Structure 1
Amino acid sequence: MTPDNSIRQPKHEVFLSFRCEDTRKSFTCYLYDALREKGIGTYADFKELQRGEEISEALSKAIKESMISAIIFSQNYATSSWCLEELSQIMELRHSRGQLVVPIFYHVNPSDVRKQAGSFEKAFLEHEKNGIEKVQRWRLALTEQAT
C-alpha cells in the first residue's frame, strides 16, 4: 500500500512561542527539556534555529510544521512585535488548519492578556505611538487566545 502524499506529517509536535528575556533561561528551557525527555518533538528557536538561517522564515516554517503551538505569555511578551507576529500567524493556522493552541500564563494574569491591561496595556500604547498598523490584529489575537 502506498502512503498518501497529500497528507503531510508535521515535523514538530510542539512549537514554543515565548519572550526570550522573560523565560528562555528558566521556564521555557525546563519545559523544552521536559517535553523532549518524554519523546515529544519540540521546536524552540534557542535550541533549533541553525546559525545563519533567516529567523523569520525559519520560525514561520516551524510554526507551519507543528501540530501544537504553546504560547508562553509573560510580563514582557507584548513588548515584542516579533512575539505578536508569531501569535498572529499561530492564530491564523488555528483557524485555517485547526492547529491546537495552548496558552501558558507565566507570572501574568490571563485577564491582563485578554484585556491588554497591566504590562500588556503599556506595551500596546508604545506600539500605537510607533504607528504600527498591525496593533489591532495583535489585540484580537491576544483577546481570542486568552479567553
Structure 2
Amino acid sequence: MNTAQVFELVQQPSAADRALAEMRAQFGRNGTASRWSRLPTRARAVICYAAGLSTTLAGRELDQFDFEQQEAIRLALGELLATLREFDGSVLHRQEWHRTTRRSEGPTRSEQEQAEHENKRRAELNEQAGILEGRIAALRKAAGNGQ
C-alpha cells in the first residue's frame, strides 16, 4: 500500500461518521425550515400566495428567502392558523358544506320537526300562563272581596 492509498483511507469517513454527520445536519436545521421542506409544493404555493409572494417561489427552501419574505411567510402562517381554528372537524363534514344549497328548497325534516316542537311548547306555555293569570285574577278578586 502506498502513501496515497493510506492517506485516502484516513481521509474517508466511515459509514458511522457519515450517518452521524447526516443526523447532525438534520437536527441542526431549524425546525421551521425542516417543516417547510416537507410541505408539498401546492401547500407552499398557498402559503406564498397568502404572504403576498409569487407562487413560483414555492419551490425554494426557506433559507433561500430573504428576511422580509420569511417574515411575510411567518405572518401569513399565523393568519392561516387563526383562520383554520375557526373550522373544526364537524364543519368539514360534506353535509355541513352543502346544507346551504338545500335551504332554497325549504327547511329540512329535522328543522320542521324542531319548529313544530317549539310551536307546541310555546302553545303549552301560553296555556299555562293563561291558567296562572286566571288564578292571579281570582286571588285578587277574592282578596278584594275580603277587605
Quickly name the TM-score band, shorter chain normalised. Answer: under 0.3
TM-score calculated relative to the size of structure 1: 0.21
More helix by share: 2
